Structure 1
Amino acid sequence: MNAPHKPKTFHVKSFGCQMNVYDGERMAELMAAQGMTATDDANAADLVVLNTCHIREKATEKVYSDIGRLRKHGNDPMIAVAGCVAQAEGEEIVRRAKVDVVVGPQAYHNLPELVSKAARGESALDTDMPLASKFGALPARRRVAPGAFLTVQEGCDKFCTYCVVPYTRGAEVSRPFDAIVDEAKALVDAGAREITLLGQNVNAWDDEAGTGLHGLIAALDKIPDLARIRYTTSHPNDMRDGLIRAHAEVEKLMPFLHLPVQAGSDRVLKAMNRSHTRDSYLKILDRVRAARPDIALSGDFIVGFPHETEAEFAETLSLVDAVGYAQCFSFKYSPRPGTPAADMTDGFIPGEVMDDRLQRLQAALNRDQAAFNAATLGKTCQVLIERKGKLPGQMLGKSPWLQSVHLMTDAAIGDLVEVEIVRADPNSLAGVAI
């Protein structure tokens, strides 16, 4: 990066899932290793990296809006589009938005080289999916927050009919066991107290020895200064017996499971090419709750999938009633180009119908989240302090069940504090340090 117009400052903005947050952190480390300085102000940066998500249409359009805003109000920065939109649209982004760098999620380790090429006025586009792992080319981990993400698995072989991930992230691949453990140790040495293992189907992680995600968790459990372990996102098809047992046997594994179901109707699930049924999904949750009775359950839902009837949507609502989720994500169906469901145009649901269904679903989910939070009132638990609050002396942290907790304390960021929950609001808790 010895070009005359080499950027000196950079800003990374990540959209979408936790894996994008992880990728964004690693791209920032790449830029810092080149001697560049991070800035929180995108408009003042010499280089802005937009780390994109392609799951929903609005997320894609937001990227183009951000590019236009940077061109209008920014310091004429070099703009790099990374992530899944970059992978899916490639040269179209360069044509439509005239950005400087386009790099896919499996090639972002080449970002410094691409920035140098762009600074020289050369084409800087890389959407290859090489067989060689990008992780070996990334720099050592730097100082991290108390809660850190660690990607252990990428890609997907499930081919749900609504999803672009197999096309933008590639086939399902597991990182090597030793590489994961080494990075986890480096994260702990850099200040992490909690590690969340990430993957498009994280519970599909495995190695040639058949270790499975439960075996990997057992190995991380032995890292002395690591206090908490989480994992996301899981697929019902890969919830194996060993992983369910781990929720009972591994104290550091937090009582929280994000297990997307997407719909409550078997016909809709089959049309989505989900490999589970309503009944098989509920039976998995029964087994998890038997192993860890206090576990908090989370999920994903899509409303308005092509041809979904009102009766089938009612089955989704009844599934929500049956489970009692602690928190959930819910979305209107958004057709993504190149996916099988995008061709089901004769079954597209009118927007006003999807809006109505989403509002009813979210009302039920919000009700259950408020009820779950209310049930923690009076309990004591450990809270991992993550950052300062808005008030003097106030700190914010996470409960074992992934709830936000605010309290007045002189504890430092990264401390684990024993807390009594004294107030339960719909979206957060208030506690008193014991």
Structure 2
Amino acid sequence: MSAQTITLGCRLNIAESAAMRELVRGSADDLVIVNSCAVTAEAVRQTRKAIRKARRERPDARLFVTGCAVEIDPLSFESMPEVTRIVRGPDKFDAASFGLPGANAAPPYAVDETHARAFVEVQNGCDHRCTFCIIPHARGAARSLPAGAVIDRIRALVAAGKREIVLTGVDVTSYGGDLPGKPGLGNLVGRILRLAPDLPRLRLSSLDPVEIDDELIELIESEPRLMPHLHLSLQAGDDMVLKRMKRRHLRADAIALVERIRAARPEVAIGADIIAGFPTETEAMFANSLKIVAECDIVHGHIFPYSPREGTPAARMPQVAPEVARARARLLREACEARRDAWLDRLVGTAQTMLVEQDGVTGHAEHFAKIRIVNPDPARAGPAEAHSSSRTGKEEKGFDRPRPNAGERPGKETMLAGRIATVTIVGREGDELLGRIGG
């Protein structure tokens, strides 16, 4: 059987799994790599569950475990009978760590064939110490990749057929603080858009509200290739809770930031992480978090009930009852779903551009609304893709569909997969818009 990677957790893990998958590609060895997550106790539990399931399904495979959970508690994973070996730190990008011949290093980028978009790591680690978070202990201090290396990766991915790049890291908005001249994230984004002109779509992963710089706001306003979808690491909407979390912003800062973003680009869709039932959270404090959903018009909510993470200061604080935290999380989800439903309803009847996934039918709009094509006929897919060049201000064509491999007969899915298509939104089912090609 071929090598398999199983990924839990964040987009950075997805990017790193793609690099490991490329590292072991073509190996005849029967091996499984589990890339673990440690953000919550539940994430660790799910990691163990994935390990046991992988062993049941592939009893003869060599099973390796890497990632944040291994960094936090290596001995507990090393002692699992299902695990052949744990792989820590940068060793996960060395073929020898997986018992493969030679000592080949993982490529600086990897093409993930399972998604139309690609994740590019621009930063790793975190210098902040939020009281609920264990990840800095797993990932270490903040470290930025030089802009030139990032741009080289992106150019290679675009040449390989990727039409959307997502910049990812542990604390993306801290980018550049450790580099000469301390260039910010806005500076990096501007350089990418200037020096990778053939990239149609650039998206950002989770952003810390306090670190979004003026240059990035200007690009949000002026650059159509920078997607109108921002996910903010809010965590709470109450000032006392934010202080006890050791967050560096207040609710007024978050609201003012969203107002500024919307003034720059009204169509931006806002997503947010919010924790329900953080230690000491009262009903009045929770009410402020609930209100911020409407005040920031959060349509992409990542809501989860607080669960104690051993080794963090928050785990030693007075705890909210788990059933109360779950109930509050449900209310937050319902509030976000109501905002999302109203937003999706407003999109019916509009034209949207979408990046079509590898199934040739589903994908995401620029603002990350999910779309399913109801008539996936490539004959009606329209002309070659186009984008507005930030350098000329003119529409330029040339983002044609990815070519099939040699000897492959292009079918409907091959024709649309990985392509940017324009659809008319004719309805919706749940959280999925229905798009029709050709009106």
TM > 0.5 between the two?
yes
Q: 2:27 aligns with which of 36, 58, 62?
A: 36
Q: Scaled by the length of structure 1, what TM-score is found?
A: 0.86
Which residue number corresponds to residue 171 of structure 2? 201
Q: Does 1:322 align with 2:288?
A: no
Change (3 A) 1:73 1:192: closer
Q: Distance in 2 between matches of 1:433 and 1:70?
A: 40
Q: Is the CA contact (8 Å cut-off) linking 2:41 and 2:307 kept in structure 1? A: yes
User: What does 1:169-184 correspond to in 2, within 5 Å?
Assistant: 169-184=139-154
How far apart in 2 are the matches of 1:211 and 1:205?
7
Residue 61 of structure 2 corresponds to 77
In the aligned structure 2, how far is the partner of 1:154 from the partner of 1:141? 15
Partner residue, 2:385: none
Q: Secondary structure at the match of 1:9?
A: coil
1:213 aligns with 2:178: no
User: Is the partner of 1:149 in helix, strand or coil?
Assistant: strand
User: Which letter maps to 1:348?
Assistant: Q
CA contact (8 A) 2:185 2:213 kept: no
Contact (CA 8 Å) 1:376, 1:424: kept in 2 or not? no
Give the whole-Å Cα distance in 1 for the aligned partners of 2:117 and 2:98.
30
For residues 42-57 of structure 1, what are the structure 2 equivalents within 5 Å? 46-57=30-41
2-structure distance, mates of 1:65, 1:406: 32
1:418 shift after superposition: 1.7
Map of 2:97 onto structure 1: 114
CA distance in 2, matches of 1:139, 1:431: 37
What is the SS of the residue equivalent to 1:215? helix
Deviations 1:289-345 (A, max 9, x none): 11111100000010111111111111111111212112110011121121111122x
RMSD: 1.9
Contact 2:55-2:82 within 8 A present in 1 as well:
no
Q: How far apart, CA to CA, are the structure 1 residues paired with 2:280 and 2:81?
A: 35
Aligned to 2:49: 65
Match in the other structure for 1:282 = 255
Are the counterparts in 2 of residues 214 and 243 from structure 1 also a CA contact under 8 Å? yes
2:166 counterpart of 1:165: no
- Given candidates 225, 249, 260, the residue that maps to 2:198 is 225
Whether 1:297 and 2:301 are equivalent positions in the alignment is no
Residues 19 and 105 from structure 1, CA distance in 2 versus in 1: closer, same or farther, beyond 3 angstroms?
farther
The code of the aligned residue for 1:158 comes to H
Unaligned 5+ residue runs, structure 2? 382-415
Measured in 2, the distance between the counterparts of 1:69 and 1:388 equals 26
Q: Secondary structure at the match of 1:79?
A: strand
Residue aligning to 1:379: 350
Q: Deviations over 1:95-149 (max 9, x none)?
A: 2445222123543113x222229x9xxxxxxxxxxxxxxxx94225454443110
Measured after TM superposition, the shift of residue 282 of structure 1 is 0.8
Query: Counterparts of 2:69 and 2:427 in 1: how far apart (Å)?
Result: 42
Match of residue 392 from structure 1: none
> Which aligned runs of 4 or more in structure 1 are off by greater than 6 angstroms?
none
Given that residues 18 and 111 in structure 2 are in contact (C-alpha distance below 8 angstroms), is that contact kept between their aligned partners in structure 1?
no
Deviates more, 1:68-77 or 1:157-166: 68-77
Structure 1 counterpart of 2:389: none
Aligned-residue offset at 1:165? 1.2
